[in-house]
Amino acid sequence: MKRNTLLVGIVALALGILAYQSAINQIADIVKIIEDSRAGHGPRYSNERLQVLSDDAEVTLMFARGFLGFSVFMVVYALYDDIMRTIKRIR
């Protein structure tokens, strides 16, 4: 087992989960801003500004997904030797 890689992977996994949750919350907030703006309840934003907000939220979500995927890969890589040993014992 690669202990340092596993430790970094677990920390990165926790940060990835937090980043993903933050991105989901950001998208929910932006959807609310868009709905309020179109209904006339909140400040009025131009369609271009709303599109930029939406695009920024999507980029944040893509980054969070990538970071989360990389973290999972690091954890699996750190545990790969142990996984293979366990599979060989079962056979």
pLDDT per residue rounded down to tens, the chain (91 residues): 688 989 999 999 999 999 999 999 999 998 898 888 888 887 787 888 888 988 999 999 999 999 999 999 999 999 998 889 999 999 8
Residues 20, 64: Cα–Cα separation, whole Å: 5
**Residue 63: per-residue pLDDT:** 95
* pLDDT value of residue 2: 83
Structural domain containing residue 42: 3-90
Quote the number of domains for the chain. Answer: 1
Phi, psi angle pair for 22, to nearest 5°: -65, -40
Amino acid in the structure at residue 43: P
- Read off the DSSP letter of residue 41: S
Is the whole model's pTM more than 0.85, yes or no?
no
